[in-house]
Amino acid sequence: MAQVMIDIAGTALTAEDKQLLAHPDVNGLILFTRNFSSIEQVETLVADARAASNGPLLVAVDHEGGRVQRFRDGFSAIPAMARIADLPEQEQLAAAQDLGWLMAREVRAVGIDISFAPVLDINGCSEVIGDRAFAREVQQVAHLAQAFIEGMHEAGMGATGKHFPGHGSVVADSHFAVPVDSRSKEDIFNIDLPVFDMLADKLAGVMPAHVIYDQVDAQPAGFSRYWLQDVLRDQLGFNGLIFSDDLSMQGATVVGDMRQRAVAAIAAGCDMVLVCNDRDAAFELLQQPLPATSARSRSRLQAMLGATNYERMDELQRSNRWQSAQRWLERFNS
């Protein structure tokens, strides 16, 4: 079982989209802002995508809050995670948990399985991370992220920690460059890795960074057996699903063409590879069978699929729990 997550261009499926979703190696769909016009439309889109698939389909979105929230109209405006630390200390954990629940529950309300959240990076010099991270200090990141994850779990959504082992200490953006983090192994293990270590048993998924940690390994983390097998699986004991970051990003190009990237990511230990914003590359990738992933990968995928008996958005917004969570948004907007 190979597991590929693709994207689509519009707000409804084309014949070509349906062809790709029916491919036996495609088990995931990621949605972007371009795929959203209304709550009713995205509900229909998700249902149509599942009908087009020949197997279980994991539907995902990047909906962290702040700068990275794909859907706006009809959804709560979740603040950037760094804003939580602006609250009085005694309120921060409650706010993090309620915001994790609110984000996840609204995403689930339109039938989407997961949001790729939370960011577990330490906020350092990286502008692409910046206020997407909870804080600059390990313990604070871990405590706030754990509360946020508990809220996601309450909403029926598994959490995906990113960007392993840490993207906060490189200036370059892996969407447009090949970032190299030349810090020592000791620094990375002391500063970035502890958050993933503390939360490994609470995460259903992990997404590695397209960053080369050249004092540790020559390959970007998402293509490195050392990072994914020796460290993440063996040392940290992580048993969930490993997603590649988007293989179309510039940070992945050092590995070769799209097929070489996908094969290398699977060989390193990724359970699902993302191929976004390059339809020709997706078609080319799927012309030949990919290396088979394991039965364990299938069970990891099944564990991330959401329940189907979710409350729709209008019902959710009438609930006391939703109304209570809105108080935090009022605080951030006051």
Q: Residue 226, SS3?
A: helix
Residue 239 and residue 199 in contact, taking contact as beta carbons nearer than 8 Å:
no
Cα–Cα dist 166/119, whole Å: 9
Q: Binding residue per annotation — 271?
A: no
Task: Indicate if 245 belongs to the active site.
Answer: yes
Cα–Cα dist 267/206, whole Å: 16
Bond into 163 cis (ω within 30): yes
Q: Binding residue per annotation — 261?
A: no
Residue 207 and residue 244 in contact, taking contact as beta carbons nearer than 8 Å:
yes
How many other C-beta atoms are found inside a 10 Å radius of the C-beta of residue 11? 15
Instruction: Quote the Cα angle for 208-61-237, to 5°.
Output: 35
Reference 75, options 319, 327, 314; nearest CA is 314
Q: Is 305 exposed, middle or buried (0-12, 13-18, 19+ CB in 10 A)?
A: middle
Q: Which two tokens stand for residue 91?
A: 């309120």
Cα–Cα dist 242/230, whole Å: 14
Q: Is 287 exposed, middle or buried (0-12, 13-18, 19+ CB in 10 A)?
A: exposed
Q: Is 88 exposed, middle or buried (0-12, 13-18, 19+ CB in 10 A)?
A: exposed
Q: Binding residue per annotation — 163?
A: yes
Residue 258 and residue 251 in contact, taking contact as beta carbons nearer than 8 Å:
no
Task: For strands 4-6 and 114-115, give the pairing.
Answer: unpaired
Q: Binding residue per annotation — 70?
A: yes
Which of 175, 217, 230, 278 is labelled catalytic? 175
Q: Which two tokens stand for residue 27?
A: 């088990």
Q: Binding residue per annotation — 132?
A: yes
Cα–Cα dist 277/282, whole Å: 9
Cα–Cα dist 120/138, whole Å: 9
Which of 113, 181, 192, 245 is labelled catalytic? 245
Which residues belong to the annotated binding site?
Answer: 62, 70, 132, 162-163
Active site residues: 175, 245
Residues making up the annotated binding site for substrate are 62, 70, 132, 162-163
